[in-house]
Amino acid sequence: MNAPPPTPSGPRWLYLHGFASGPLSAKGVWLDAYWAKQGIPLERLNLRVPSLEHLSLHAMLDTVRDALGAPNDRAVLIGSSMGGLVAARTAEADARVGALVLLAPAFRFVEQLQRRLGPNNWTEWKRTGYLETDDHAEKRRTRVHHGIMEEAQLMDAKRGPWPDVRVPTLIIHGRQDDTCDVRYSREWAQGKRHVRLVEVDDGHELTASLELIAKEADAFLTPWRGVEQTRQVFTGG
């Protein structure tokens, strides 16, 4: 992996939650606590922007870009589900992203949602402008504007349906995922020497795979740790 030499502080580590989730998502909180023990701060971004009801893909990308820091700063992005897609779209356009860890990424987001909703519900969402869904962060029913799908379709048309990522990438995806089908991760990873795909016997939330995620990410992200954090890992400090 062509990682830059570690600096005393190391790159920023940013966590991007999934659709209708939030910074307090179970995976994000668990990984935050896990890496905090190693002296690595994980910043859990809020991608419910400008609001969940009027969710905007471009606003999410702007939020991530703002969190990357100064022009010469570097970052590692850990993205779950839609956060994984946003991480990949950020990496293809911003050289400050040095590596990706994608957890059940929502590649081909529009196509996958169309498949899950079915033609009748998809047409109704487009007609009314809003889709009713569960807000996993606030534990209530809510609605999301159809504009995010129009943004995603325009982005796919402009950039291509698959993110053109050139940085080292680790994907962990469950074979029983009925939200983001693992076959999309397989297709995207195929033939890419800089991508490692790890399949697990788990569903979309990957709640049974947290220890494995941590182990795989620790090994994969070793080159992107700060000097002090790298010393702690290899000395047990």
Q: Which residue type is seen at 129? A: G
Instruction: Give the residue, 200 or 227, on which the prediction is more confident.
Output: 200
Using DSSP's 3-state secondary structure scheme, residue 171 falls into: strand
Please check whether residue 49 lies inside any domain of the structure.
Answer: yes
Give me the number of domains the chain comprises.
1
Which pLDDT band holds residue 207 (cuts at 50, 70, 90)? Answer: very high
Q: What pLDDT is recorded for position 10?
A: 83
Measured CA to CA, the distance from residue 176 to residue 203 in angstroms comes to: 5
In a domain, 153, yes or no: yes
Assigned domain for 133 exists: yes
Span 92-117, mean pLDDT? Answer: 97
pLDDT category at 2 given cuts 50, 70, 90 is low
Question: What is the residue range of 21's domain?
Answer: 12-235
CATH number at residue 84: 3.40.50.1820
Q: What is the mean predicted confidence (pLDDT) over 8-20?
A: 89
Whether 113 has a pLDDT exceeding 70, the answer reads: yes
- 5 in a structural domain: no
pLDDT of residue 151: 97
- Chain mean pLDDT for the chain: 92
The helix-helix angle for 109-128 and 147-159 (nearest 10°) equals 140
Q: Is 218 part of any domain? A: yes
CA angle, 223 then 226 then 229, to 5°: 100
Question: What is the reported pLDDT for 21?
Answer: 96
Q: What SS3 state is found at 66?
A: helix
Is 211's pLDDT higher than 50?
Answer: yes
Residue 3 in domain: no
Phi, psi of 139, deg, nearest 5: 55, 55
Mean pLDDT of 90-116: 97
State the Cα–Cα distance between residues 129 and 108, nearest whole angstrom.
Answer: 21
Which DSSP string do the residues of 14-54 spell out, in sequence order? EEE--TT--TT-HHHHHHHHHHHTTT--EEE-----S-STT
